[in-house]
Amino acid sequence: MDERAEKEDRELILRMASRDANALDAFYTRYNRVAFSLILRIVGSRQDAEDVLMDAFWQVWQQSGRYDSSRGKPIAWLLTIARTRAIDCIRSNQRRQGRTEEFEADKNPAAGPAEPDSFVMSDTRRAVHEALQTLPEQQKIALEMAYFQGMSHSEIASALGQPLGTVKDRIRNGMLHLRKRLRSYF
Amino acid sequence: MRHEQLTDDLQEQASLYAAGAMTESERKEYARHLEEDQCAVCLSEVNELQSAVSMLAFSAPSRTPSPSVQQRLREQARNMASGKPVRSHSLLRRFWVDFIASSAAIAAIVVAFAVTRANTELRGLIDVLNSRIAQLEVELSQNRTYVATLTSPEVRVVNLAGQGLNVRARGRIFWDQSKKKWLFYVRDLPPLPADKSYQLWFVPVSGNPVSAVVFNTETDGSAEKEIDVPEAVVALKAAAVTTEPAGGLSQPSGPFALLGAL
């Protein structure tokens, strides 16, 4: 993620804190697709994903005055909010519907073809793809179960039939691998 | 408590937190550690790892939301800027979904309760009706007997007239001689107090009167009795009703209330 883009993002956050609605609009235009793609990957339902997307950007707008740049880039902040809200959504749906089966978002990706990204986004997407390809399969599985399905380490251990300590190690090592391979992008 | 340096264990905790892999209780406790303790070591590690793991969003297939989301967001921001109330569309939608689901569940419970209550009431009503049917069947059987008696060519009809103060009273006996039965009907004979009774007598051609039945009338002055005529009673000259002490006597002692010649 280039420095110019990051600088612009921080300025948008500052403007949002001053209640500049155009800044929210610009920030949304910039990152709605990556956030929506993440949310949809998690919740599976387009209707729910759009609701969560709306809530995530609204939370960014509401909390823009409290954004701390030392906590990471605005895009990482947005995606953390989006992921948290998406997980909350599927947990809420599970409570409402009494579902206990594992949520399989990949099997229901919802409508809409993939669309071309900007150059920066394409480059980031390529780097992430390569980082995941070099990630050991067991680490990737544990990370995806935690990140995309909101499962805790004990739930993952139970689902995979693995010792808890093994799962924790895999998550930690997977995270360190991602950080090492993608440091220049965040 | 603030940590002074990053250990493997602290790094593991930061990884689990950043990946969203902690249990709820662990997450709350760790979040408290970050926000209240302001532990710089853990905050720094968490920030980096959260930034790294957020890149996983780029591994999801690229999708575009509908334009309406941006329009709603713009409208919401404009409303907030102008001081208008802001309503979360998603919250409203989920509210209505939950409301409708809850209302449907409540409605189902109410219907089930109403059906159960209705069933209980219906069962009670069925019991009452069955009891009434049984009662009516008994009455029907009696009435069939009465009709058979009344229409039999072997039945004699004896009319009794009111006596003394009971001038308005009247009685009728349908005497089925083959079955040796009297069907006795009384009208407009005032009911007696508890210490007195009316008594119907077979009055033979010869000999003393024989008690047929001791009775009292209903509040409307009516009475109906079915009486077996004893074998010994053969030749009768009259039927009489007298007023006697409660329970009757072996021989008439009181005034006539009704009298009819046979």
- Over range B132-158, report the average pLDDT: 79
- Over range A18-24, report the average pLDDT: 91
- Chain A environment of B50 (Cβ under 8 Å): 72, 76, 80
- Over range B115-125, report the average pLDDT: 82
Residue B146, sorted as left (phi over 0), alpha (psi -120 to 50) or beta, turns out to be alpha
Q: Given pLDDT bands bounded at 50, 70 and 90, which one contains residue A117?
A: low
Token pair listed for B78 = 């404009």
- Over range B2-9, report the average pLDDT: 91
Distance from CA of A117 to the nearest CA of B (A): 8
**For A49, nearest residue in chain B (alpha carbons):** B65
* Low-confidence winner among A113-127, A141-155, B18-32, B226-240 (lowest mean pLDDT): A113-127
| Cβ contact A182–B59 (<8 Å) | no
Q: Which of A36, A70, A109 sits opposite B64 (nearest CB)?
A: A36
- The rounded radius of gyration (Å) of the Cα atoms in chain A is 17
| Predicted pLDDT at B191 | 94
Query: Percentage of residues in chain B with pLDDT exceeding 70?
Result: 91
User: Measured between alpha carbons, how far is B37 from B13 in angstroms, rounded to an integer?
Assistant: 15
User: Measured between alpha carbons, how far is B10 from A186 in angstroms, rounded to an integer?
Assistant: 22
DSSP state of A136: -
Distance from CA of B31 to the nearest CA of A (A): 14
Q: Given pLDDT bands bounded at 50, 70 and 90, which one contains residue B117?
A: confident
Other CB atoms within 10 A of residue B160 CB:
25
- pTM greater than 0.90: no
Contacts of B222 (CB under 8 A, 6+ apart): B185, B186, B187, B188, B189
| Cβ contact B88–A151 (<8 Å) | no
- Over range A26-49, report the average pLDDT: 94
Whether A171 and B52 have beta carbons less than 8 Å apart is answered as no
Q: Given pLDDT bands bounded at 50, 70 and 90, which one contains residue A184?
A: confident
Q: Which of A21, A47, A58 sits opposite B81 (nearest CB)?
A: A21
Token pair listed for B223 = 């009475």
* Low-confidence winner among A75-89, B30-44, B82-96, B158-172 (lowest mean pLDDT): B82-96
| Cβ contact B90–A82 (<8 Å) | no
Q: Given pLDDT bands bounded at 50, 70 and 90, which one contains residue A107?
A: very low
| Predicted pLDDT at B154 | 78
- B 186-225 residues with CB < 8 A to A: none
| Predicted pLDDT at A16 | 93
Q: Pick B119 or B99 by higher pLDDT.
A: B119
| Cβ contact B78–A57 (<8 Å) | no
Quick one: A31 exposed, middle or buried, by C-beta within 10 A (0-12, 13-18, 19+)?
buried
Q: Pick B32 or B132 by higher pLDDT.
A: B32
Could you tell me if the ipTM is greater than 0.90? Answer: no
| Cβ contact A32–B64 (<8 Å) | yes
Q: Which of B20, B78, B101 sits opposite A147 (nearest CB)?
A: B20
Task: Write down the mean pLDDT value for chain A.
Answer: 86
Q: Pick B13 or B100 by higher pLDDT.
A: B13
Contacts of B41 (CB under 8 A, 6+ apart): B2, B3, B4, B5, B6, B10
Token pair listed for B82 = 């102008």
- Put simply, whether B82 touches A (Cβ < 8 Å) is no
Q: Given pLDDT bands bounded at 50, 70 and 90, which one contains residue B101?
A: low
Distance from CA of B100 to the nearest CA of A (A): 12
* Low-confidence winner among A28-37, A41-50, A98-107, A109-118 (lowest mean pLDDT): A98-107
- Put simply, whether A156 touches B (Cβ < 8 Å) is yes
* Bridge pairing between strands B170-176 and B196-204: unpaired
Q: Given pLDDT bands bounded at 50, 70 and 90, which one contains residue B94?
A: low
| Cβ contact B63–A112 (<8 Å) | yes
Q: Given pLDDT bands bounded at 50, 70 and 90, which one contains residue A77?
A: very high
Contacts of B188 (CB under 8 A, 6+ apart): B162, B166, B168, B169, B170, B221, B222
Distance from CA of A8 to the nearest CA of B (A): 18
- Put simply, whether A112 touches B (Cβ < 8 Å) is yes
| Cβ contact A72–B81 (<8 Å) | no
User: Measured between alpha carbons, how far is B31 from B13 in angstroms, rounded to an integer?
Assistant: 11
Q: Is A74's pLDDT higher than 80?
A: yes
Helices (H), chain A: 3-17, 21-43, 46-63, 74-97, 119-133, 137-149, 153-160, 164-182
Contacts of B242 (CB under 8 A, 6+ apart): B198, B199, B201, B252, B253, B254, B255, B256, B257
Q: Pick B138 or B33 by higher pLDDT.
A: B33
Q: Is B109's pLDDT higher than 50?
A: yes
Q: Pick A115 or B172 by higher pLDDT.
A: B172
Q: Which of A41, A76, A117 sits opposite B51 (nearest CB)?
A: A76
Q: Pick B177 or B25 by higher pLDDT.
A: B25
Distances (CA, A) of A139 to A73, A136, A146, A171, A184: 25, 5, 11, 6, 21
Distance from CA of A15 to the nearest CA of B (A): 13
User: Measured between alpha carbons, how far is B69 from A55 in angstroms, rounded to an integer?
Assistant: 10
- B 20-59 residues with CB < 8 A to A: 20-24, 26, 43, 47-59
- The rounded radius of gyration (Å) of the Cα atoms in chain B is 49
Nearest 5 degrees, angle CA A123-CA A126-CA A130?
140
**For B82, nearest residue in chain A (alpha carbons):** A19
Encode pLDDT of B7-31 as tens digits: 999 999 999 999 999 999 999 999 9
Q: Which of B59, B76, B94 sits opposite A132 (nearest CB)?
A: B59
Encode pLDDT of B178-222 as tens digits: 888 899 999 999 999 999 999 999 999 988 999 999 999 999 999
Q: Is A99's pLDDT higher than 60?
A: no
Type of residue found at B45: E
| Cβ contact A51–B59 (<8 Å) | no
Q: Which of A50, A61, A175 sits opposite B66 (nearest CB)?
A: A50
Q: Which of A28, A38, A96 sits opposite B60 (nearest CB)?
A: A38
